[in-house]
Structure 1
């Protein structure tokens, strides 16, 4: 009887060990396959700014490569942030922090996850053509009657909801630029006026940022900002997502965690979209085909759909 019980006990241990080994193997297979796809339909809002148009289409293309259906939704800055915060959109790659989008972050930080810094240097400033030799700092605008009258005391702005517009309004107040007025339009309209002024070698003052294709085609200079209202050395750009995205779409979240940018890639694509007026989807697809090693880094460990 004792011998029988002993053998039965040994047999039970072997069975349990075998079961544990099988479970471990199953876990290994699941890990090797990468994160699950989860929710297949994603919405990515963006503002049609120079860098954002390229970056948004790039992330959309990468996510479609790993099995997602991605809707790109062009909106204004306020709607871009609020839609991710309330869950009607999933993520955006246009968070300029800590300065430019500070007000949006303060309003929505409880509902939005900061996923990844994608670019580490994104300076903003009031900008003028380089031939305006006597204007080098924001302080040079104050009480500058000759310049002010020549441009009707106007700083030519972009979308009214853009963070750089809020910063510029603060610049006007804090630097005592009492005679100056910031006018809102759009990035495209501002750039049209900037190019026209340069063609005629006329003065103009605009808010601008890097990376931007304009610095590659126009001779421009950013004005010094001693009070660092635009953020000193510049913002960093982040991808942000609604709080539950990692749980709902693990594979997509992994892509967002691994995606990053550099000036070279962005400056290669921006002129094709904004000057040559190529379809941004075609531009990013060309980049993907020509840079397989970069794509492999972005999608490392993530299964791709055939």
Structure 2
């Protein structure tokens, strides 16, 4: 009888130990584990403070707030910072920024790529083909190629031998400087300003049907709102059929912020020129960049769910 009591007591204690072990699941101090907002597959948020530099060009102004709002849905704190192209590349390459939303490769940002290619990772493309070129109003019927600028006294004098440009650090400005050399446009100069100032001057000149020459690219709302034509570029200074507009990250982005890396992979699978055009038109119609992004996500809840499902908060 005593043996049976002792055996029953031993079995009871053993069962209790096993039960506690099964229910514990904590660390040595008895505290529950944290997965830092990860999903059931182990994709953790990691570093939640992200810096995302961008340039003040129409496409980047449109898609950067959209990327930011999607990442915030997952649980990230995103500091989107407007910079010039050189600073955008250098901050990502150094790891001070997580990723950028406006690389133009292989032509426009060739010099930056050659300098930083070993220190960055290409995540994918927002737009697969984005042509760049010197651009004029369609009513300038006698100007169809960059070659038509050579020795064109009438045109040169009408625009003070000036091409109205954007910020000096932009790749398209470097392309234009090269074009002036390669096409022997010795009398011509390239004037730096900003995209907003260039567009304002373009619209002002076109309102009076005056000549003007600017560097422009597609996708851009200007081609939907204004009657423009890109000049032929026989030497392909601007990259022929066009650059790829992509996202480029620091080499530690995937390790530092795994869920953000996954969000960007999903985002880039779906984002295309049609989406970008929708954002650009909304902004040009008067919406702020942030409101355009919010409205897009409200109108496309299935995409937001796809981009964030199983990740973060």
CA contact (8 A) 1:66 1:302 kept: no
Partner of 2:278: 268
Q: Distance in 1 between matches of 2:100 and 2:172?
A: 18
CA contact (8 A) 1:125 1:225 kept: yes
Match of 2:298 among 286, 289, 300: 289
After TM superposition, list the pairs within 5 Å mapping 1:83-122 onto structure 2.
Answer: 83-122=91-130
Partner of 2:57: 49
Partner of 2:5: none
Give the aligned length: 276
Q: Distance in 2 between matches of 1:255 and 1:42?
A: 13
After TM superposition, list the pairs within 5 Å mapping 1:228-243 onto structure 2.
Answer: 228-243=236-251
Q: Distance in 2 between matches of 1:31 and 1:269?
A: 30
Q: Distance in 1 between matches of 2:216 and 2:154?
A: 23
Q: Distance in 2 between matches of 1:119 and 1:297?
A: 20
Partner of 1:130: 138
Question: Gaps spanning 5+ residues in structure 1: where?
Answer: 1-29
After TM superposition, list the pairs within 5 Å mapping 1:30-69 onto structure 2.
Answer: 32-33=40-41, 35-69=43-77
Q: Distance in 1 between matches of 2:285 and 2:216?
A: 17
Match of 2:84 among 76, 81, 84: 76
Q: Distance in 1 between matches of 2:43 and 2:131?
A: 35
Does 2:212 align with 1:204? yes
TM-score by length of 2: 0.85
Q: Distance in 1 between matches of 2:68 and 2:285?
A: 22
Q: CA deviation at 1:304?
A: 4.9
CA contact (8 A) 1:154 1:183 kept: yes
Q: Distance in 1 between matches of 2:310 and 2:184?
A: 53
Q: CA deviation at 1:73?
A: 0.7
Q: CA deviation at 1:151?
A: 0.4
Does 2:300 align with 1:279? no
Partner of 1:24: none
Q: Distance in 1 between matches of 2:275 and 2:196?
A: 22
Secondary structure at 1:270 match in 2: helix
Q: CA RMSD in A?
A: 1.7
CA contact (8 A) 1:112 1:240 kept: yes
CA contact (8 A) 2:102 2:245 kept: yes
Q: CA deviation at 1:297?
A: 3.5
Q: CA deviation at 1:31?
A: 7.1
| Higher Cα Rg, which structure | 2
Q: Distance in 1 between matches of 2:39 and 2:76?
A: 20
Secondary structure at 1:202 match in 2: coil
Partner of 1:162: 170
CA contact (8 A) 1:251 1:302 kept: no
Q: Distance in 2 between matches of 1:243 and 1:303?
A: 21
Q: Distance in 2 between matches of 1:275 and 1:193?
A: 19
Q: CA deviation at 1:275?
A: 4.8
Question: Gaps spanning 5+ residues in structure 2: where?
Answer: 1-37
CA contact (8 A) 1:34 1:251 kept: no
CA contact (8 A) 2:123 2:248 kept: yes
CA contact (8 A) 2:39 2:310 kept: no
TM-score by length of 1: 0.87
CA contact (8 A) 1:50 1:274 kept: no
Partner of 1:16: none
Partner of 1:185: 193
